[in-house]
Structure 1
Amino acid sequence: MEKKIIYFERAGRDNTHACLEVVKQTLGEINYKHLVVATTTGATAMIFSSALKDAGINMVAVTHSAGFKGPNTFEIPDDTLAKIRDNGAKIYTGTILTHSIETSLNSKFSGIYPAMIIAQSLRRFGEGAKVCCEIAMMAADAGLIPEGEEVIAVAGTGYGADTVMVLKAAASKRFLELRVLEILAKPRV
C-alpha cells in the first residue's frame, strides 16, 4: 500500500482547511463511517460539521471538560453548540484522558504519573497526534463511536486542526488496543 502524507511547515490553525480537504479526499477514497474532531472554542467543529453535514458520516466533536479553563467555565457558547448539532454532529464534553486527576496530583506533589508519561510519549509525534488518540478513546468511552472500527481523527496544536489520522478505535479501558493505522497529515515541527 502506498499513501500520501501531508507535512505542514508550522503547527496550528492555519492548517485547518487543508486538514478538511484531506478528510474529504479520504472519505472519497474509503467509506469511513466515523469522524472525531477536537474542538476548543467550537470553531473547528463548525468548519468540519458544516462542510461534511451531507457526507453521511457519524461526526463527533470532542470538547474540553467544563471547568477546564477555570471553575464553572465552558469554552463553547450555547449557540455554537446548537449550530454544530444542527449540522448533524454529536458533541462529547468530558475529561481529557491524560489530564485532570494526574495533573492535579503533579501540581500538588511534583511527581510523574503513568498518564503523563503516555501523553508525553504521544507528543513525540505532535500535540495533534496525542489529541487524536485521546478523542478517539473519549468518543468510544461515551459510546459515540464503536470500538474496533477504523475512524478518522482530526486534532491540532492549540486551536484549529493540523493533524489527521486513521485509528482503530478503542475505549480508554483498552488503551493498549488503540492502533494508529495511518498518519494522513501532521506538522513537521
Structure 2
Amino acid sequence: MPIESRAVYFEKPGHENTERTLQLANARADELAVKTVVVASGSGATGAKAAEIFKGKNIVVVAGAVGYQEPNTHRMKEEHRSVIEGSGGKVLFAGHAFGMMGRAVNRKFGAIQIDELIAHVLRIFCQGVKVGCEISCMAA
C-alpha cells in the first residue's frame, strides 16, 4: 500500500516561516499520533511558539550548550523559557551531539572523528536534517 505525504515549500527562507512550519508539523504529528516533539531553539523564540502550537504534546526544546559564548551563560531569553516551561515543556541545555569532543580531537590532532563524519554526511541532505538528528540524540 503506497503512502502519500504532502510537501510544502516556502518562496524564501527565514523566521517568517517558523509559525507556519510548526503548524504543519503539528498537523502531521496529529495524523501520525506523535506524542513527543523535539525542537531546536537557541533564543527560545521558536521553542515558545512551539509550546503554544503543540499544546497537549510532550515538547522538548534543545537550546545548545551553556557557556558556548561566555562562561556560565546561555542565549535563551527568560521570557521564552517561562512560556515553554509554563506550558509543561522541557528545556535542555547540552553540548552538540555531533561536535564537542570529536571536534576538539580534530583541532588538536587533525584526525576526523565519527561524530564529525556523521554530521558531514547528514549535511549532504541539508543542515535541517543534521540538526533534527542531532537534537533528537541530545534529547534522548
Q: Please tell me whether residue 20 in structure 1 is matched to residue 22 in structure 2.
A: yes
Alignment equivalent of 2:51, drawn from 23, 31, 49: 49
In the TM superposition, residue 5 of structure 1 has moved relative to its aligned partner by 1.9
1-structure distance, mates of 2:46, 2:110: 34
Q: Please tell me whether residue 117 in structure 1 is matched to residue 105 in structure 2.
A: no
Partner of 1:2: 4
Alignment equivalent of 1:32, drawn from 24, 34, 50: 34
Greater alpha carbon shift after TM alignment, 109-118 vs 119-128: 109-118
2-structure distance, mates of 1:59, 1:14: 21
Q: Structure 1: 5+ residue runs without aligned partners? A: 141-189
* Aligned sequence identity (%): 33
Amino acid at match of 2:136: A
Paired residues for 1:92-131 under 5 Å:
92-131=92-131
2-structure distance, mates of 1:112, 1:7: 35
Given the two structures, how large is their TM-score scaled by the length of structure 2?
Answer: 0.87
* CA 1:13–1:108: 2 relative to 1, 3 Å: farther
1-structure distance, mates of 2:29, 2:117: 33
1-structure distance, mates of 2:34, 2:105: 39
In the TM superposition, residue 115 of structure 1 has moved relative to its aligned partner by 0.8
Amino acid at match of 1:39: S
Given the two structures, how large is their TM-score scaled by the length of structure 1?
Answer: 0.66
In the TM superposition, residue 9 of structure 1 has moved relative to its aligned partner by 4.4
Q: Structure 2: 5+ residue runs without aligned partners? A: none
2-structure distance, mates of 1:126, 1:9: 17
Paired residues for 1:109-188 under 5 Å:
109-140=109-140
Q: Please tell me whether residue 87 in structure 1 is matched to residue 78 in structure 2.
A: no
Aligned residues: 138
Q: CA RMSD of the aligned region, Å?
A: 1.8
2-structure distance, mates of 1:129, 1:137: 12
Deviation string 1:93-123 (CA, Å, 9 cap, x unpaired) is 1111101112222233333221111001001
* CA 1:10–1:114: 2 relative to 1, 3 Å: farther
In the TM superposition, residue 88 of structure 1 has moved relative to its aligned partner by 1.6
> 2:47, 2:80 within 8 Å by CA — same for their partners in 1?
no
* CA 1:6–1:86: 2 relative to 1, 3 Å: same
